[in-house]
Structure 1
Amino acid sequence: MIPKSSLLRRREFLRGLGLLAAGGALAPARPTSGQEKEVLPKHITPETLRAVVKGLDYLAGAQAEDGSWITGGGQAYPVAMTGLAGTAFLAHGNSPTRGKYSKAVQGAVEYLVRCSTATGLITGPGQDSGQPMHGHGFALMFLACAYGSITKASLRNQVADAIRKAVTLTSQGQSSAGGWTYVPGTGDEGSVTVTQVQALRAAHNAGFLVPKAVIDSAADYLEKCRTPEGGIRYSLLSGGGPRLPISAAAVATLYNAGQFDSPIATDCLKYVWDQFRARDEWSKGGAHDYYAHLYASQGFYMAGDAYWDAYFPKTRDQLLAMQAGDGSWSGDGIGQVYGTSIAAIILQLPFKYLPVFQR
């Protein structure tokens, strides 16, 4: 047994290096002079860390008393924004009881538990402007990622119940073609489909039962939406060419489904990579650039160093240049909570706090 005095000395040493949070949890790596190469993940600079903290400070300050985000674009989609903002805090290594932003995480968990309905749909009174499944997906992913760190028994039981019901709702809301759309059981399209698959992957990681047939059917749906260019169209019945944001999301989704080496994943990654290389600017020529980067960053990170080394340093510098003075990013015309959450998630991928974003 290690003497108590030795443990206390070790804690003080780690805290002095910035590696131990006040609550005793390992904190996100913070470099001291001369230690950047040893402490920070590849391509993460001290400037990156400062930008992330500034962004998270903005999100913490924008959180409403009930734990939601209803400003900065969140008023139309409070459940979706709460799920995304909460995920950004988890990506920093916070939990409901540990870390600088533990209060924000706790508030987000409690708010989304209250949004869990009898049907299993996680939604608020306005149902995220009548399109609840996006919010449901982001909320389920966040709750599943937070579940393992919840220590209060009563809250943990509530979250487990919400997750189980949400998994059932998602499974039963899948269309006969294998996808999902904005309202459960009413059709299918690509962007909602990817949020459901990633949420189910997070629930599986947390130890909840997820029917394999649901995941397999979703992967088949994306296969049916593939275009000759290798990308993914908007929906099975929409026709037309590939949509870059949905194609980027499909790469991450297929990896979440375990299809790292499948022909569709390989072709889709090539299509997305070629499109990203064709334009050096942050904007890739559409109105959903933050959305495209959110998923493309995950796909490139899971695809390996060759992709990540070419993608991340440039994207990192673009994000740092676009950050507003108050720490926020404004994304895709939706608002600051959306943009800031996505920017913070992208910039923190190398810290590997969330298994759902890892290979």
Structure 2
Amino acid sequence: MSRALFSRRTLLAAGPLALAPLSYWTSRLAAAPDDAVPPKPSDAELTGDEITVASKAAMKRATDFLLRTFNSDDGCGTDIRHPSDIGCSAMVGLALLAQGHTVIEGELYQRVDRVLRYMLRTVNQMPANNITSQFGTQLQNKIGVQAHTFFATLFLSQVIGEDSDEENRVRRALKRLVDVIARQQTHDGHWGQESWAPMLGTVMGWVALRGAHYAGFRVAASAEKTADHIIKSMTTELNRHQQSWMHQLYKNATGVRVLYASKRDDEAIARKAFESVLALIKGSDSPFSQAGGEEFLSFHLITETMLQKGGADWKTWYPLVRDKLLAVQNSDGSWTGHHCITSRTFCTAAATLVLAAPNRFLPISQQ
């Protein structure tokens, strides 16, 4: 069967209304029209200031490593020759999408298609209230019990609209995941506090639902409650006199992702969080040389925020985090998690998302 080739990127290029009908979160979508499509730099600016020869080579080595994590069931393991992991598979799929590979185009389109098929089979077999019946995975322990659901939802929200032959299956799977995440949101706007880094879980739940919203899904959850919860949590954390650099990253600064899109980044707590993490990475290499998967994910989330914000913050943030990531890449193209989330697959995919961010290929990067 031949595939009808159409790309959601074509729809995005036509503007936000091309994705109609766009539903909205029940309270209020945390977005505004000028948050929808950031300006894309010229090719000269992209090559000279953002994607360098070194970062392009690093992405190639990283991608070669990620391809080695694929298993015969089309999923990706937490490392080479490890059993397939839902969250890691989704992250690999996102890393490939961020480099311009989709299920219908790009040199590695077949790999993206394999991740998609793995996700569709997984959702088809999932329990009622979580994409997996497993408990105690690295991602769940550190991000939250719904971590795999979040990452799978984000991947499907970014790949929908790329393949008409699978469109209905993708739409059904994504709706099922969105409904699960929406049901699991607490009345305070978060998704549980039991994990090591619940703020990351809150932000990832929000990011997953936001991606689905912009893919045209009605989301029965409250973005405003999530933003309120994040403001409250960040205020508590940032007022503490002593914090480890880890807490500064994944307990504080990642919340800026939500606050910026909510048009609340002008609040003092949001600015303080960004300035805190910027000073941290300027003054120390530890957040990179001693990073776990939480930090690599945090770098990605903050980079997405600065990408959309642009201006001086982007120009200050991106070259710094890019070059410090390059300095700790392993010779085989991977990045290693030194604590908590140690999966090389997860860490490498997250680092690749940072390096590929200037491409602005992911729909969520434009929303």
How would you bin the TM-score normalised by the shorter chain?
Answer: 0.7 to 0.9
Q: Is 1:144 matched with 2:157?
A: yes
Query: In the alignment, residue 217 of structure 1 is paired with which amino acid?
Result: K
Deviations along 1:37-78, one digit per CA (max 9) or x if unpaired, are 376363211222121122112211221121211241895881
Instruction: State how 1:117-128 maps to structure 2 within 5 Å.
Output: 117=126, 119=128, 121-123=130-132, 128=137
Partner of 2:314: 308
Q: Is 1:337 matched with 2:345?
A: yes
**1:274 Cα shift?**
3.4
Q: Is 1:133 matched with 2:146?
A: yes
The structure-2 alpha-carbon separation of the partners of 1:348 and 1:232, relative to structure 1 and needing over 3 Å to count, comes to: farther
Q: Is 1:192 matched with 2:198?
A: no
Q: Secondary structure at the match of 2:99?
A: coil
Q: Secondary structure at the match of 1:66?
A: coil
The structure-2 alpha-carbon separation of the partners of 1:260 and 1:223, relative to structure 1 and needing over 3 Å to count, comes to: closer
Distance 1:127 1:156 in 2: 32
Tell me the TM-score normalized by structure 1: 0.77
Tell me the TM-score normalized by structure 2: 0.75
Deviations along 1:165-196, one digit per CA (max 9) or x if unpaired, are 1111111101122111388xx9x931211110
Partner of 1:52: 59
**1:159 Cα shift?**
1.2
> Which stretches in structure 1 are left out of the alignment for 5+ residues?
1-22, 27-34, 234-240
**Greater Rg over alpha carbons, structure:** 1
Equivalent residue pairs, number? 317
Q: Is the 8 A contact 2:285 2:324 kept in 1?
A: no
Partner of 1:248: 253
Instruction: State how 1:157-236 maps to structure 2 within 5 Å.
Output: 157-181=168-192, 189-211=198-220, 213-227=221-235, 230=238
The two structures, once aligned, show a CA RMSD in angstroms of 3.4
Distance 1:299 1:357 in 2: 9
Q: Is the 8 A contact 2:139 2:147 kept in 1?
A: no
Q: Is the 8 A contact 1:198 1:256 kept in 2?
A: no
Q: Is the 8 A contact 1:67 1:107 kept in 2?
A: yes
Q: Is 1:109 matched with 2:116?
A: yes
**1:258 Cα shift?**
4.7
The structure-2 alpha-carbon separation of the partners of 1:259 and 1:210, relative to structure 1 and needing over 3 Å to count, comes to: farther
The structure-2 alpha-carbon separation of the partners of 1:323 and 1:226, relative to structure 1 and needing over 3 Å to count, comes to: closer
Distance 1:74 1:270 in 2: 40
Q: Is the 8 A contact 2:291 2:338 kept in 1?
A: no
Q: Is the 8 A contact 2:65 2:333 kept in 1?
A: yes
The structure-2 alpha-carbon separation of the partners of 1:230 and 1:41, relative to structure 1 and needing over 3 Å to count, comes to: farther
